[in-house]
């Protein structure tokens, strides 16, 4: 039997390959999903191990003749609410291009939209203490999307670019634009939990939710943030958390702590399928992130086996396991193109 798992980690593919070279010998021959004792210490290691665990869960559910959601205890919902991440498809970073991406997602039936607009808030700006000034172009992008979507949900990802003072200024500005969700405003570490907790209170007073923790590995790293109430919403990723069962354990932790769970998922179709099933099986679930129309490969790689987005939702694949199959012709063609690209990049 064949199972699928996704180990994509944008910009760090070589590190994932090296992690695979280290872990594969001990994982080959496994017949059951990975036990809690096998954990990655780095994000690249976690990406590889999580992908193997997705594939083993795919096989285990197929062996039982069940969809993965049913194998995990039963689907609590058949239609998964989604939000559209329009950030990476917007290659031209002008406000008008962000508005165009939002309009396309709106016309496709989405009612919640996320962008990561603060390109100019970078190391140079932080070094020169020019964060407030550097924030302005990003706010222009947010404003353009806000005008496009009206009263619908507007979500802003900060990618850990701010400090506490500038994050408060951002929240003030975002409130005026109708933002309902601010994500990852400051770096996440045990010592910054009190800062994040204060920012959550500040955001809540402004009518917004604070979200984060998309790159944390496993229950141990997530627990301090959940138990401290650092965020309104926590965002585990099926590719980094340590696998499918770890996602379910995290969902249970968040439920006990009164924290909403919205899986991070700006990923390819295999991780998307795994995320759909996990989202369906969770007792308490908010909504699932999807990359919106970044590449037609998202759909071509899996043909008709993956349900299309409809009215801001997705149905579950109905075949056993993950319920998806790869188009081998598309995969082979893409692999050849990737190899040619890599060879070209290697030539000085």
CB contact set of 241 (below 8 Å; sequence gap of 6+)? 46, 50, 216, 217, 218, 222, 247, 250
Q: How far apart (Å, rounded) are the C-alpha atoms in residues 77 and 316? A: 9
Taking only the tens place, the pLDDT of each residue in 162-196 is 999 999 999 999 999 999 999 999 999 999 999 99
Task: Give first-to-last CA distance, the chain, whole Å.
Answer: 43
Which position has the token pair 């929240």? 171
Q: What is the pLDDT of residue 125?
A: 78
242-271: pLDDT as tens digits: 889 999 999 999 999 999 999 999 999 999
Tokens of residue 247, six digits: 């996602």
Instruction: Return the pLDDT at 145.
Output: 98
pLDDT of residue 46: 93
pLDDT for 317 equals 97
Helices assigned H by DSSP within 150-290: 164-176, 193-205, 218-228, 244-257, 269-281
Distance CA 32, CA 345 (A): 39
**Of 81, 113, 120, nearest in space to 98 by CA:** 113
Q: In this predicted structure, what is the pLDDT of residue 48?
A: 94
99-103: long-range pairs with CB below 8 Å, 24+:
99/144, 99/145, 99/147, 99/148, 101/292, 102/144, 102/145, 102/148, 102/149, 103/148
Strands 153-157 and 79-85: what pairing? unpaired
Confirm whether pTM is higher than 0.85: yes
d(CA 27, CA 343): 30
Q: Beta 153-157 vs 181-183: how paired, if at all?
A: parallel
CATH number of the 75-315 domain? 3.20.20.120
Between CA 246 and CA 258 the distance in angstroms is 18
pLDDT given at position 128: 67
Mean pLDDT of residues grouped by 10 in the chain (348 residues)? 92 93 85 70 93 95 98 97 98 98 98 98 79 95 98 98 96 98 98 98 98 95 98 97 93 98 97 98 97 95 95 97 95 76 40
CA of residue 24 relative to chain centroid, distance: 25
């Amino acid at each position: 039997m064949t199972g699928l798992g996704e180990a994509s980690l944008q910009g760090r593919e070589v590190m994932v390959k090296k992690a695979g070279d280290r872990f594969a010998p001990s994982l080959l021959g496994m017949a059951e999903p990975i036990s809690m004792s096998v954990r990655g210490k780095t994000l690249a290691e976690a990406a590889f191990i999580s992908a193997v665990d997705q594939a083993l869960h795919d096989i285990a559910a197929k062996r039982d003749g069940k969809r993965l959601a049913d194998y995990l205890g039963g689907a609590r919902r058949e239609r998964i609410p989604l939000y559209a991440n329009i950030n990476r498809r917007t290659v031209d970073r002008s406000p008008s291009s962000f508005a165009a991406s939002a309009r396309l997602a709106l016309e496709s039936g989405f009612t919640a939209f996320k962008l990561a607009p603060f390109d100019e808030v970078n190391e140079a700006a932080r070094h020169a203490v020019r964060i407030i000034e550097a924030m302005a172009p990003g706010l222009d992008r947010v404003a353009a999307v806000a005008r496009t979507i009206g009263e619908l949900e507007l979500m802003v990802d900060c990618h850990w670019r701010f400090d506490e003072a500038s994050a408060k200024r951002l929240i003030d500005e975002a409130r005026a634009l109708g933002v309902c969700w601010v994500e990852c405003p400051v770096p996440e570490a045990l010592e910054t939990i009190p800062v994040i907790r204060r920012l959550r209170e500040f955001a809540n007073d402004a009518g917004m939710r604070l979200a984060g923790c998309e790159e944390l590995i496993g229950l141990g790293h997530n627990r301090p943030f959940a138990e401290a109430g650092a965020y309104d919403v926590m965002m585990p990723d099926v590719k980094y958390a340590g696998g499918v069962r770890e996602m379910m354990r995290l969902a249970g932790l968040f439920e006990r702590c009164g924290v909403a769970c919205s899986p991070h998922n700006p990923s390819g179709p295999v991780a998307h399928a795994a995320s759909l099933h996990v989202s369906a099986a969770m007792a308490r679930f908010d909504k699932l992130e999807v990359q919106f129309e970044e590449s037609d490969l998202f759909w071509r790689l899996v043909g008709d086996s993956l349900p299309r987005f409809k009215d801001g939702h997705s149905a579950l694949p109905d075949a056993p396991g993950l319920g998806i199959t790869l188009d081998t012709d598309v995969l082979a063609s893409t692999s050849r193109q990737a190899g040619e690209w890599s060879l070209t990049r290697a030539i000085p």
